[in-house]
């Protein structure tokens, strides 16, 4: 038996998966997700990783993917990559540490020289590589708290054109919109209210989590990020924050009006993602026939977009035989490393 831990270190979330392999088969495991504002407390990353490692249990090897190197706690991305790798290595310095690079390779971080910028952002690559083996023709739609990844897979190979974030943004494969942390002002500039189209305040008054909580698409316990006003994560609190988007108080707008506002904003977000899907799929001959695999906290948005394109939406595959670990970047990284080490 070998025990793998995969880490996915983002700017707002730390996710980890521990998978147990027996005779080369991923038998069972578990995942952990913690909200953590890396941009506010980069020095707190290592203690958090130690806490998660203690919770998950020991491992024989670890692998890291990341997107948190971009956050403005660091002077540049290379500093961010180095800082994150150091924090992960210090969590269990006695065991081997690997990273996924932009080519999809597992690189042993043993002190040898490595080009830091080839190690990030790579969480989407790990996830797509595993899915390509399990479902060789599909569109991976991973909608997290902050971003959306649109990764086409054709013939068992990743068909994405971009690797670095700037390339992926230009090609529609990365969209900066997510189910929790996206400011409403980044989704819509106007809303229908009282029979008119009203401009909104370009302030950090409400976020996508407020929209989807009001609409019942997220439960309060799914609202894992901080609220814009630092107050309660309830439907009432979300309605109050949404009213401020129109520079109003919630007592001066009816619940029906605020619900309609939330529905319109959600529609605009679905349209953003659907347009990205059109852009990505238009490059592929069979693009508008590919099934969609929606994953992440915003999988419900991916399902809605698939319906707009009249494409089937498939459940993401489980990575362990007992079904305890579903597809995610940290689990995919652990799965890839476990397979590699099982083969010797």
What is the percentage of the chain residues whose pLDDT exceeds 90?
97
Model confidence at 344, pLDDT cuts 50, 70, 90, reads confident
Task: Dig out the tokens for 235 from the structure.
Answer: 């439907």
Supply the CATH number for residue 99's domain.
Answer: 3.30.420.40
Q: Indicate if 175 and 305 belong to the same structural domain.
A: yes
Structural domain contains residue 131: no
Q: Indicate if 274 and 325 belong to the same structural domain.
A: no
Q: Indicate if 56 and 174 belong to the same structural domain.
A: no
Kindly give, in sequence order, each residue whose CB lies less than 8 Å from that of residue 199, ignoring residues fewer than 6 positions away.
189, 190
pLDDT of residue 294 exceeding 80: yes
- Give tens-digit pLDDT for 122-135: 999 999 999 999 99
Structural domain contains residue 240: yes
Structural domain contains residue 130: no
Q: Indicate if 165 and 289 belong to the same structural domain.
A: yes
- Furthest C-alpha separation in the chain: 66
Q: What's the structural domain count of the chain?
A: 2
For residue 191, what are the domain limits? Answer: 136-313
Rounded average pLDDT over 289-318 = 97
Supply the CATH number for residue 195's domain.
Answer: 3.30.420.190
Structural domain contains residue 268: yes
Structural domain contains residue 129: no
Q: Indicate if 264 and 332 belong to the same structural domain.
A: no
Q: Indicate if 53 and 174 belong to the same structural domain.
A: no
Model confidence at 112, pLDDT cuts 50, 70, 90, reads confident
Task: Dig out the tokens for 99 from the structure.
Answer: 């990273």
- In this structure, what are the phi and psi dihedrals at residue 71, rounded to the nearest 5 degrees? -70, 155
Q: Indicate if 165 and 293 belong to the same structural domain.
A: yes
Contact 104, 125 (CB under 8 A): yes
pTM value?
0.96
Kindly give, in sequence order, each residue whose CB lies less than 8 Å from that of residue 273, ignoring residues fewer than 6 positions away.
141, 143, 148, 150, 175, 177, 301, 302, 305
Q: Indicate if 274 and 168 belong to the same structural domain.
A: yes
What is the percentage of the chain residues whose pLDDT exceeds 70?
100
Q: Indicate if 110 and 226 belong to the same structural domain.
A: no
Q: Indicate if 103 and 154 belong to the same structural domain.
A: no
Structural domain contains residue 169: yes
Confidence (pLDDT) at 94: 96
Q: Indicate if 168 and 285 belong to the same structural domain.
A: yes
Average pLDDT, the chain: 96
Structural domain contains residue 289: yes
Q: Indicate if 151 and 96 belong to the same structural domain.
A: no
């Amino acid at each position: 038996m070998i025990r793998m831990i995969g880490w996915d270190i983002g700017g707002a979330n730390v996710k980890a998966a521990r998978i147990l392999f027996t005779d080369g088969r991923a038998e069972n495991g578990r995942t952990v997700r913690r909200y953590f504002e890396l941009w506010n407390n980069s020095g707190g990353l290592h203690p958090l990783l130690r806490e998660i490692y203690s919770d998950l249990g020991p491992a024989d090897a670890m692998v890291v993917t990341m997107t948190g190197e971009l956050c403005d706690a660091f002077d540049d991305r290379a500093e961010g990559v180095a800082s994150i790798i150091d924090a992960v290595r210090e969590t269990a310095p006695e065991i081997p540490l690997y990273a996924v690079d932009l080519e999809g390779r597992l690189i042993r971080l043993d002190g040898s020289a490595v080009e830091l910028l080839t190690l990030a952002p790579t969480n989407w690559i790990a996830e797509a590589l595993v899915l390509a083996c399990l479902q060789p023709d599909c569109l991976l739609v991973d909608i997290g708290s902050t971003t959306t990844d649109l990764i086409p897979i054709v013939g068992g190979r990743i068909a994405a054109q971009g690797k670095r974030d700037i390339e992926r943004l230009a090609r529609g494969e990365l969209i900066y919109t997510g189910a929790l942390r996206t400011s409403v002002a980044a989704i819509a500039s106007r809303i229908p209210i009282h029979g008119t189209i009203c401009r909104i305040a370009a302030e950090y008054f409400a976020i996508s989590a407020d929209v989807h909580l009001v609409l019942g698409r997220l439960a309060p316990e799914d609202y894992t990020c901080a609220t814009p006003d630092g107050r309660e994560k309830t439907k009432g609190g979300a309605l109050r924050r949404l009213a401020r988007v129109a520079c109003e108080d919630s007592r001066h707008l009816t619940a029906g009006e605020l619900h309609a506002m939330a529905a319109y904003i959600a529609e605009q977000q679905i349209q953003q993602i659907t347009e990205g899907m059109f852009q990505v799929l238009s490059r592929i001959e069979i693009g508008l026939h590919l099934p969609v695999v929606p994953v992440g906290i915003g999988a419900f948005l991916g399902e809605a977009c698939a319906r707009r394109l009249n494409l089937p939406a498939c459940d993401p595959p489980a990575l362990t035989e007992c079904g305890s670990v579903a597809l995610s970047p940290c689990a995919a990284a652990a799965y890839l490393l476990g397979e590699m080490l099982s083969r010797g």
